[in-house]
């Protein structure tokens, strides 16, 4: 079952206010050479911000997300009519196309909550990747104390009025974190509970190899700084056929 902040129409409409354009999207956009027309697949595309930016540069873009609600918002993007939208999980995605670039952004990789799901998703990416193609995704480094810095609260200025959003840590079992997001609208409140899986760089590399893939590089930041196991917050994987 999908989390409410992906399926509630009101929350989907304000998603880009909270999770708008950012340095990580600049990073992913830079991966696509604007002088070429690439076939690009965005798995877990959400409301389609990155898909729209790729399409604006002339690339052939497929956006895949398991949430119909998010895709309904994505279709309204300026270049939405030029993008193929597919309602599917990363594990179940099917296309006759093969892709030069496959991305999974916004820590969507961590929504895959079992090694079995990860292996199925990675094998599916491999199946849809062109020879010489590139897969890029990121996950949070589990060595960082995420519990200590997880909670936040903010006010969002939306067409519904001011919305108070907060995130609260609930539980940590060594690999899996549970948390909740609370959205207080002027006349109603929505609570969405979520889980994320935190795996080490070495474990993810092992799963890549088991899927017939290999990590060419793993960066620790959006400036392509090296990955330091003890303190880098991000693990950004550049992956190719093995």
Which H, E and C letters describe 16-28, residue by residue? HHHCCCCHHHHHH
Task: Give pTM, 2 decimals.
Answer: 0.97
pLDDT confidence bin for 1, thresholds 50/70/90:
confident
Rounded to an integer, what distance in angstroms lies between the CA atom of residue 99 and that of residue 194?
Answer: 30
Average pLDDT, the chain: 98
Q: pLDDT tens-digit profile of 121-168?
A: 999 999 999 999 999 999 999 999 999 999 999 999 999 999 999 999
Residue whose token pair is 């609208």:
185
Q: In what order do the strands lie in the sheet with 176-184?
A: 152-158, 161-172, 176-184, 189-197
Rounded to an integer, what distance in angstroms lies between the CA atom of residue 137 and that of residue 134?
Answer: 10
Q: What is the structure's pLDDT at 16?
A: 94
What CATH homologous superfamily does 4-141+200-241 map to? Vaccinia Virus protein VP39 (3.40.50.150)
CB contact burial 43-58 (16+ within 10 A = b; e otherwise): bbbbbbbbbbbbbebe
Q: Mean pLDDT over residues 10-22, rounded?
A: 93
Q: pLDDT tens-digit profile of 49-88?
A: 999 999 999 999 999 999 999 999 999 999 999 999 999 9
Contact (Cβ atoms closer than 8 angstroms) between residue 59 and residue 50: no
* Residue limits of CATH 3.40.50.150 in the chain: 4-141+200-241
Give percent of the chain above pLDDT 90. 97
**Could you tell me which of 99, 103, 92 has the C-alpha nearest to residue 128?**
99
Rounded to an integer, what distance in angstroms lies between the CA atom of residue 33 and that of residue 41?
Answer: 15
pLDDT confidence bin for 2, thresholds 50/70/90:
confident
Q: Mean pLDDT over residues 101-129, rounded?
A: 99
Q: What is the structure's pLDDT at 12?
A: 96
């Amino acid at each position: 079952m999908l989390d409410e902040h992906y399926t509630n129409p009101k929350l989907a409409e304000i998603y880009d206010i909270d999770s708008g354009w950012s340095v990580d999207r600049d990073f992913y956009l830079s991966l696509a050479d604007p002088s070429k027309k690439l076939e690009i697949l965005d798995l877990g595309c959400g409301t389609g911000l990155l898909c729209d930016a790729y399409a604006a540069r002339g690339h052939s873009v497929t956006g895949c997300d398991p949430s119909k609600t998010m895709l309904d918002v994505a279709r309204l993007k300026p270049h939405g009519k030029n993008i193929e939208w597919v309602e599917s999980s990363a594990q179940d995605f099917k296309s006759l196309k093969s892709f030069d670039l496959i991305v999974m952004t916004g820590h969507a990789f961590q929504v895959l909550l079992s090694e079995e799901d990860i292996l199925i998703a990675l094998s599916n990416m491999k199946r849809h990747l062109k020879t010489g193609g590139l897969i890029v995704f990121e996950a949070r480094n589990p060595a960082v104390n995420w519990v200590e810095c997880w909670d936040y609260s903010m006010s969002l200025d939306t067409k519904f009025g001011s919305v108070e959003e907060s995130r609260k840590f609930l539980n940590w079992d060594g690999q899996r974190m549970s948390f909740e997001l609370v959205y207080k609208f002027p006349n109603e409140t929505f609570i969405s509970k979520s889980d994320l899986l935190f795996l080490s760089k070495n474990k993810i590399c092992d799963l890549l190899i088991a899927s017939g893939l290999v990590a060419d590089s793993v960066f620790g930041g959006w400036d392509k700084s090296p990955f330091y196991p003890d303190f880098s917050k991000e693990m950004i994987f550049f992956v190719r056929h093995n």
